[in-house]
Structure 1
Amino acid sequence: MFIGEYTFKVDSKGRTSIPALFRRELEEGDPKWTGGQRPKFFIVYGNASKKFLEVYTAEAFTKLSNDILALPRGTKKRRMLERLVLGMSHPTEVDGDGRLVLPQKLREKIELEKEAYFIGAGETFEIWKPETFEAENAATMETWLEELPDDFDPLTLLSDNEG
């Protein structure tokens, strides 16, 4: 499971370290990985409304792909998912130094410059421009907290079936 948050520098070639705990999850999530090899994973970037890149292990991406391909052929839902997820994803691997090389196109999509912010999301993790995450997170939290009592305990959401 991907948990925690980390910030790393990005060099001019788009290389950035991957958090060590995330690298272990990427290794475990690549069924073909064995010690000494580079784990493979997928970066999904197709949703234009998302201001971040979403990273899947090889295993999680295969499951997602199978779910998409299980939809009826020719349906709008399947065509959208084929384009936004399958078509607009970047297969890659951890390099020999434990880094990720982000292509220019992906860096431009999220306006990534000198630093990358990584945040775990359970089955996936996200890569953000740190300032964008701070602004988006502050706005989201403010909206959420306006709807809740001052003594709100986030763990109470586990028993809430409203979604």
Structure 2
Amino acid sequence: MSLRFRGNETQGIDGKGRVSIPADFRPVIVSGDHRMAQGERPSFVIVYGTRSQNHLKCYTLREIEKIEARIELMDDGSDDREILETIFHGSAMTVQLGDDGRIVLPAKLRTKLDLGDKIFFIAGNDHFKMWKPETYDDFENDRTDALLRERGDRFNPTSLLPKLPPQAAAAE
């Protein structure tokens, strides 16, 4: 199994759109880029989606290729395939991680999120998201807190996880 993204962090954005990817995320990006053996700088994919998507979702090359393989299994010309192709192909871009751990976030993406001088990163296991900090606080953080409150003080989040198949459970 490859490394996974964990944690969250707020980073500054300079006037040219340069932003540091959190240090804990960088090894995951490197391990998820099979082209590194060719001496290139590590790359990852930013999926910015349609107008209604209020964050950027970022995948390693290995993870985006898994998604693309699943899209290719769908019926060519189907509405579902076209939706996924629009999101994961037409509304995405590959960026390279600089030697200093930074990327240049294109102006169209900074405008899409209405970013100022800060951006919030949060891990999502096989991906990470980039948000305008205020949007994350207003939308996602409040939503998660509300869902947890609905379940009560003694709720154990691991109860949401499916049971492992017998072979995987025995390996633990």
* TM-score (norm. length: structure 2): 0.86
Give identity over the alignment, percent: 38
Name the structure 1 match of 2:42: 39
Amino acid at match of 1:57: T
Amino acid at match of 1:61: I
Structure 1: runs of 5+ lacking an equivalent: none
Per mean C-alpha deviation after superposition, the further-off stretch among 117-126 and 130-139 is 130-139
Structure 2: runs of 5+ lacking an equivalent: 164-172
Cα deviation, residue 52, structure 1: 0.7
Per mean C-alpha deviation after superposition, the further-off stretch among 116-125 and 34-43 is 34-43
* Distance (Å, rounded) in 2 between the aligned partners of 1:57 and 1:150: 36
Cα deviation, residue 159, structure 1: 4.8
Name the structure 2 match of 1:67: 70
Change (3 A) 1:51 1:97: same
* Distance (Å, rounded) in 2 between the aligned partners of 1:85 and 1:60: 12
| Per-residue Cα deviation, 1:58-116 (whole angstroms, up to 9, x for no partner) | 11111111111111101000111111211110111101211011101111111111011
Q: Which of 51, 55, 70 does residue 52 from structure 1 map onto?
A: 55
Secondary structure (helix, strand or coil) at the match of 1:147 reads: helix
Secondary structure (helix, strand or coil) at the match of 1:33 reads: helix
Cα deviation, residue 55, structure 1: 0.4
Q: Which of 66, 84, 90 does residue 87 from structure 2 map onto?
A: 84
Amino acid at match of 2:110: R
* Distance (Å, rounded) in 1 between the aligned partners of 2:74 and 2:80: 8
Name the structure 2 match of 1:94: 97
* Distance (Å, rounded) in 1 between the aligned partners of 2:38 and 2:29: 12
* Distance (Å, rounded) in 2 between the aligned partners of 1:35 and 1:153: 45
| Aligned residues: CA RMSD | 1.7
* TM-score (norm. length: structure 1): 0.91
Query: Does structure 1 residue 4 correspond to structure 2 residue 7?
Result: yes
* Distance (Å, rounded) in 1 between the aligned partners of 2:145 and 2:26: 32
Amino acid at match of 1:72: D
| Per-residue Cα deviation, 1:23-74 (whole angstroms, up to 9, x for no partner) | 1100000011149641011000113332110000011111111111111101
* Distance (Å, rounded) in 2 between the aligned partners of 1:135 and 1:99: 27
Amino acid at match of 1:43: I
* Distance (Å, rounded) in 1 between the aligned partners of 2:68 and 2:38: 26
Amino acid at match of 2:85: E
Query: Does structure 1 residue 13 correspond to structure 2 residue 16?
Result: yes
Q: Which of 127, 134, 151 does residue 124 from structure 1 map onto?
A: 127
* Distance (Å, rounded) in 2 between the aligned partners of 1:97 and 1:111: 25
Aligned residues: 160
* Distance (Å, rounded) in 2 between the aligned partners of 1:48 and 1:74: 22
Name the structure 2 match of 1:136: 139
* Distance (Å, rounded) in 1 between the aligned partners of 2:152 and 2:6: 27
Q: Which consecutive aligned stretches of 4+ in structure 1 deviate over 6 angstroms post-superposition?
A: none
